[in-house]
Amino acid sequence: AGTVLVKSSENFPLSTDASNIVCIEFATYLVSDAVEAGSLTGFSYAISTHNPSVTCYIVHPHTIDDATIANHVAHTKTADTVIIATRNAHMHAKQAELTEQIIATHNNVILACLRNPYDAGILDDANTIICTNGDSTPSLQAAVDAIFGVYTPSGTLTVNLPS
């Protein structure tokens, strides 16, 4: 009930056998050691269990610079679908900039706003927007289940988003 489908497109949800999907996840500071070791984080792991062919990139929160932005925009250029999982992009300019550039250069972006819904207010050009209202494992799994059509989110936003 905490997962909110803010906006949906005709390409949502994804089928579990969809191909050519890239996932960009901004890591939480709590899992930075896992990121440095090259492991998947909770959201990306859940994505890969639904569809192992998804290519996941974890972006470390401390290392976003212009080269990182260019690199990840390039990773998404030929994808059919891009899933972007943000964590407080409304408070981190480089995270927002990378996300905005991907949204601007791609036709099918699913934005998963992890933690809180405020990223949906500043990144509202994404084709589909899901908010988790939390960053716990069940919240992440619920967002991924919604992305792959296991259920349709029924939650409602508990805050007003800036427009």
Tell me the C-alpha to C-alpha distance, in Å, between residue 142 and each of 74, 80, 88, 149, 162: 29, 23, 19, 10, 25
Q: What is the pTM of this model?
A: 0.92
- At 40, the pLDDT band (50, 70, 90 cuts) reads low
Q: Give me the pLDDT at residue 134, please.
A: 84
Mind listing the pLDDT tens digit for each residue in 88-120? 999 999 999 999 999 999 999 999 999 889 999
- For the residues 145-151, what does the mean pLDDT come to? 96
Question: Across the chain, what does the average pLDDT equal?
Answer: 89
What residue type is assigned to position 60 of the chain? H
Residues 6+ apart with CB under 8 A from 56: 22, 23, 25, 40, 44, 47, 48
